[in-house]
Amino acid sequence: MVREITCTQAIAEGYAVAMRKDPSTFIVGEGIADRGGCFGHTTGLLVEFGPERVLDMPISESGFVGMCAGAAACGSRAIADIMYVDFTTLAMDQIINQAAKLRYMSGGQYEMPLTIVGVSGANRSGGPHHSQSLHPLFMNIPGILVVLPSNAYDLKGLLAAAILTNDLALVLPHRGLLNARCGVPEKDYVLPLGEARVIREGKDVSIVAAGMMLHHAAEAADKLSDRGISVELIDPRTLVPLDENTILKSVKKTGRLVVVDEGYSNCGVGAEIIARVQEKAFDFLDAPMQRIHPVSAPIPFSPVLEHALLPDLDKIVDVVMKVAR
């Protein structure tokens, strides 16, 4: 049965899919047991799986992420619910120096089935400490999968897939999409990692955008259609692994590319995707590729300034209009 649920509910269902498939799977975090998570995203898990598999932790991200890495190395599937992606900065040694490298340093003797889940992105005046988009940072580290779902259907299936892999994975749902609804099967399912989705087919320009930016890009595509510009819109869904073949195929058809991302431009998603297209599809380009990112400044608390800093519909339309001339 397909019903409409929010991304918040999809997180709980994605957790449950993996926990049902592998009884070694457990989840830890702050306030995730009786409280059901600060967003209500772990509601019902304690009742179904019990206190030995759903455990509240003290406010010590370095401690419980390190514990999860050790448990994963010893054969369990561990989920560290870290609330906001901003809080991964408190466990960088455990994530980057330990969990991401253990398989390599052990010559493959150890695997790392550890998944870290944290809400990402700016929305509702979260300020500089609760609004960051840190996915480009983790893309730079070998050994880490990076998942950026844009809707509840993808979130449930990709989260389950990430948990069931034997690799360290970060799954980063956007804060602004937690209450967004879409049709999601009630039954358990798992989506493949590393497969982009063409949201909208077009012939004039390709736009690549993930997470919340996909929704701004979709609105822009509607507006651009009224101006006679046909947009092909691609949701990469996972940034590591990146489905570059789908992007290259689209660019070879349209001859133009715009990348929209909520991470900063310096060493960012736009730079990486544009570099790959330049290397592998340069001869098909009819115009310079463009990238749209936030202004390089901490995310402000002020709603007006927050909006001014981030990519939005109008900024996307303006850039695409220049590219498509």
Q: How far apart (Å, rounded) are the C-alpha atoms in residues 95 and 101?
A: 9
Q: How far apart (Å, rounded) are the C-alpha atoms in residues 200 and 11?
A: 26
Contact 273, 190 (CB under 8 A): no
Q: What is the dihedral of CA 291, 294, 297, 303, to 10 degrees?
A: 170
Measure the N-to-C terminal CA separation of the chain; round to a whole number of Å.
46
- 171, 176, 188 from 120: Cα distances, Å: 9, 9, 25
The residues that bridge with 238 in the sheet, in sequence order, are 147
Place of tokens 């590319």: 257
Contact 196, 233 (CB under 8 A): no
Q: What is the dihedral of CA 58, 117, 131, 221, to 10 degrees?
A: -170
DSSP for residue 174: B
Which residue is catalytic, options 13, 30, 41, 130? Answer: 130
Which residue is catalytic, options 13, 30, 61, 244? Answer: 61
Assigned token pair, 258? 């715009």
- Is 130 designated active site? yes
Assigned token pair, 315? 């900024």
- Is 61 designated active site? yes
Q: How far apart (Å, rounded) are the C-alpha atoms in residues 281 and 249?
A: 9
Catalytic residue positions?
61, 130
